[in-house]
Structure 1
Amino acid sequence: MGFKRVSAATGVVALTGALLLTSAPTASADYIRDKQWVIDVMNFKKVWSESEGQGVTVAVVDTGVDGSHPDLTGQVLEGKDFTGKGGGVHSDFTGHGTGMASLIAGHGHGADGSSGVIGLARKAKILPVRAGTGNEFDDNQWAQGVRYAVDHGASVINLSFGDSLARPGSEGAKAIKYAQEHDAVVVASAGNDGAGQLEYPAKLPGVISVGAVDNNLTLWENSNYGTGLTLTAPGVKLVQADPTESSGYAEGTGTSDATAYVSATAALIRAKYPNLTAGQVINRLIKSATFLNHDVKKAPDEEYGYGIIRPYKALTMDIPAGPKEGPLAQASPSTSTNSGTASGDNDSTSKVKKKKKSSSGSIFLIAGVAGVVVVGAILFAVIRSRRNRGSGGPGSGGGIPPQGTGYPPQHPTYPPAQQPYQSQQHPSPYTQQPPHQGQ
């Protein structure tokens, strides 16, 4: 037993002037909502015509979840604090757990929920499990938290952290196996090192390991890759709830955030198809994913896994249920991008080939992003550590960098309070090319 440093997800930027209104009557009436580029790319409204995650409980094993945030009121269950540090499970001194919860099940606020952060599975419930208070998690505590989540009805478990001690045979690994034996979908972040191997617990058998793509749907440069990667999802410049900021919001980047979107998609599937096993839910996630125009020769790919998630397709495609244990329990890796069979070698520690360059054809550029100029005074944001938790120590991209290091050299700028922010329209790259797999 011991404390491990958890990984940072690059810099997190506080959003000031957060409740600016636009003057365009047809645009969103909220600055924060306008910044959520994923809404257009995934077409949340279309997804919600099939499922909103109702009746599903997602456990967020993290730094606690502040259920009093206006975008999460009524969504957060009682949960439990395993840290023994005081404050309770609904205290979140870093904002990380609350941020993940908002991406999963935020419902916004104001008239018809039109303001603030909206989550992909906005009617799912969040079971908060507090297993860390800062940049360290205790392996026994989060393992207890996973078991608690299973015993209290969570059918999806979000682990947006890494723990180098969570190897096979560890308490964490045993807890995850317990969750899998009780039909829970376990989702974990691959890590933010830009390294050719995954963090634990994402590397454990049967866990959905998640990498991050940017708003061009191209692999984020610091996303871990390699053998055992399952899926990728948006994880760059994502606005989320953050009770530690005066505005209540921050913008974060990392595989933590991508993991939250995969957990949300799993919740959507579980709500629509309640008779599917956890393995069969994973099967739908894998079979409906896409590589878009990326030069992928076989699946799983070391950079994209089985592809980028497509929530609407995961809900609507004609996909046979498949074996109850699901594809991640099968032993043989696929040799074709049309295959949905996953590798069981999530424990492999072999070296992977040097990271190849991702394709990023201009057809997938989000319209208008390159040409947008924000007019007005620049408010420099407050940089804090945003974990996608990983093993700590020198050389580990999972370690939290010291203040002023380890972050991108430039940070997003925001308009001053008196300057209206115009909504950016992002056409969905998901609709521009046929998928390479899953159909």
Structure 2
Amino acid sequence: MLSVRILRKVSHVTICAALTGAIIGLAPAAQAQDLSDRQWYLEPMQAEAMWEVSKGEGITVAVIDTGVSASSKTLAGRLLPGEDLTDRPGSATDDYAGHGTGMAELIAGTGAGGGIKGLAPKAKILPLRVTLAEDDGFVDAEDQSLENAVRVAADSEAQIINMSLGSVGTEELEAAIEFAVGKGKLIFASTGNSGKDYSEYPAGFPEVVGVGAVTEKNKVAEYSHGGNVDLTAPGSDFPGWCDNSFSRRCTTSGTSNASAIASASAALIWAEHPDWTANQVLRVMMQTASKAIDGSDYTTRLGYGTVRPRKVLLDGEGDPGDPDQHPLLKQEESPSPSAQPEGGSSDGDESASDRVKVADEGDDGPPTGLLIGSGVAVVLVAAGAIGFLVLRRR
């Protein structure tokens, strides 16, 4: 969904919240429909069957973003007070861009009032509001809201941290990430939406699960970054908020959406296996992910595959393995990036339809970065451009 990039003055740090792709306003009739009708991924992920086993109850996901609006009907009863790490007016439950609310709804929305059905509808959301770039495209170099939010999440009850944003890595951010992982947190972050093969952070840090996006046609989206992808998840053509007025729904695409779906998938698994550690939850996610159509265990754009929590919840697959060994750090020690995660391989009986096409033909991802928002000028950016200085959907 949303992808907000921030360029910090002087330090040149970019924070991209998930916002890549065309944002197309929905007609009033479409808005009146139950939005779950537009959530195409719920059926192939077998959400209804999974919800018979787990809805994410007992799990809290920290959403580090632009805030999460308390006015969202579908998040009623799901929101914790959170914390505002910015100097903006309002609190953590005031969303100044609309992005954080959209991510939280994808994770834990109840569907109330015809709204978004989150993949983990009984999980709790801890909103942590940070400073992301708006019209001027810059955040002061001294701003430490992102790093501070990670540390707040590390000290909180949240088991999972979702960051549908991206930045150039800093030592302070890396230290905060390491602190959170040391506290047993499982961290997901969007990889980026320029279709390039370079790392954005925090997804590029070795302890963080970098999440790329796949389309309804089971292809890696053309906009989805490669090079630092660990897992992929559905991310294209989702219903989402157009802006912070929460008056219009748009169709959004991006790795922000995908990161939220991966976080929700982890919540479903962890709720069913509360004695597992973050390392064990991630290990079974890697083992049971849908692989590339050519059978590769790992590719730079698909990572270890597309998340399939149903394989764990419904089929009982996945070996949690060593509770203390981070599977991504273990992978780094392997001489081959195609080696399986420690603890076993994915099932061998998957159908061809479960396999993911890695080379997208370009007919699914957004061809341009056309941004349409209430009171915001239309911005047209060539596909693949990396210098967005405005709020972007990812």
Fold shared by both chains (TM-score > 0.5): yes
Task: Please state whether the residue corresponding to 1:340 is helix, strand or coil.
Answer: coil
Match of 1:191 in 2: 192
Q: 1:383 aligns with which of 362, 372, 390?
A: 372
Q: What is the rounded CA distance, in whole Å, between the counterparts of 1:107 and 1:75 in structure 2?
A: 8
Spell out the pairing of 1:249-288 with structure 2 (5 A cutoff).
249-288=249-288
CA drift of 1:137 comes to: 5.7
Match of 1:206 in 2: 207
Match of 1:310 in 2: 308
TM-score, scaled relative to structure 2 = 0.80
Q: What is the rounded CA distance, in whole Å, between the counterparts of 2:20 and 2:337 in structure 1?
A: 32
Q: What is the rounded CA distance, in whole Å, between the counterparts of 1:207 and 1:129 in structure 2?
A: 18
Kindly, what percent of the aligned residue pairs are identical? 35
Match of 2:346 in 1: none
CA drift of 1:47 comes to: 1.3
Match of 1:419 in 2: none
Q: What is the rounded CA distance, in whole Å, between the counterparts of 1:193 and 1:59 in structure 2?
A: 26
Q: Letter of the aligned partner of 1:202 in structure 2?
A: A
CA drift of 1:244 comes to: 2.6
Task: Please state whether the residue corresponding to 2:178 is helix, strand or coil.
Answer: helix
Spell out, residue by residue over 1:25-67, the C-alpha distance to the aligned partner (whole angstroms, 9 max, x if none): xxxxx34221111111212101112210001110000000002
Task: Please state whether the residue corresponding to 2:90 is helix, strand or coil.
Answer: coil
Judge conservation of contact 1:280–1:321 (CA < 8 Å) in 2.
yes
Match of 1:6 in 2: 15
Q: What is the rounded CA distance, in whole Å, between the counterparts of 1:261 and 1:309 in structure 2?
A: 9
Match of 1:34 in 2: 37
Match of 1:92 in 2: 95
Match of 2:354 in 1: none
Spell out, residue by residue over 1:268-290, the C-alpha distance to the aligned partner (whole angstroms, 9 max, x if none): 11111111111111101100101
Judge conservation of contact 1:79–1:129 (CA < 8 Å) in 2.
yes
Match of 2:28 in 1: 17
Judge conservation of contact 1:6–1:399 (CA < 8 Å) in 2.
no
Q: Provide closer, same or farther for how the CA distance between residues 397 and 91 of structure 1 changes in structure 2, counting only shifts above 3 A.
A: farther
Q: Letter of the aligned partner of 1:128 in structure 2?
A: P
Count of aligned pairs between the two proteins: 349
- Misfit runs of 4+, over 6 Å: none
TM-score, scaled relative to structure 1 = 0.72
Q: 1:54 aligns with which of 54, 57, 64?
A: 57
CA drift of 1:163 comes to: 0.8
Q: What is the rounded CA distance, in whole Å, between the counterparts of 2:270 and 2:301 in structure 1?
A: 27
Judge conservation of contact 1:69–1:241 (CA < 8 Å) in 2.
no
Judge conservation of contact 1:99–1:242 (CA < 8 Å) in 2.
no
Spell out, residue by residue over 1:74-116, the C-alpha distance to the aligned partner (whole angstroms, 9 max, x if none): 1111011111111211111211100100100011114xxxx22
Q: Provide closer, same or farther for how the CA distance between residues 402 and 73 of structure 1 changes in structure 2, counting only shifts above 3 A.
A: closer
Question: Which shifted more, 8-17 or 152-161?
Answer: 8-17
Judge conservation of contact 1:192–1:254 (CA < 8 Å) in 2.
yes
Q: Letter of the aligned partner of 2:166 in structure 1?
A: G
Give the gaps of 5 or more residues in structure 2: 1-6, 344-356, 365-369, 375-381
CA drift of 1:150 comes to: 2.0
1:149 aligns with 2:160: no
Q: What is the rounded CA distance, in whole Å, between the counterparts of 1:137 and 1:281 in structure 2?
A: 35
CA drift of 1:132 comes to: 2.2
Spell out the pairing of 1:270-419 with structure 2 (5 A cutoff).
270-291=270-291, 294-297=293-296, 299-315=297-313, 316-324=315-323, 325-330=325-330, 331-333=332-334, 335=336, 339-341=340-342, 358=358, 383-384=372-373, 397-400=385-388
Judge conservation of contact 1:98–1:242 (CA < 8 Å) in 2.
no
Q: Provide closer, same or farther for how the CA distance between residues 360 and 283 of structure 1 changes in structure 2, counting only shifts above 3 A.
A: same
1:179 aligns with 2:188: no
Report the RMSD for the aligned CA atoms in angstroms: 3.1
Judge conservation of contact 1:80–1:129 (CA < 8 Å) in 2.
yes
1:140 aligns with 2:144: yes
Q: Letter of the aligned partner of 1:283 in structure 2?
A: R
Q: What is the rounded CA distance, in whole Å, between the counterparts of 1:244 and 1:259 in structure 2?
A: 21
Q: Letter of the aligned partner of 1:383 in structure 2?
A: I
CA drift of 1:18 comes to: 5.2
Q: What is the rounded CA distance, in whole Å, between the counterparts of 1:402 and 1:154 in structure 2?
A: 30
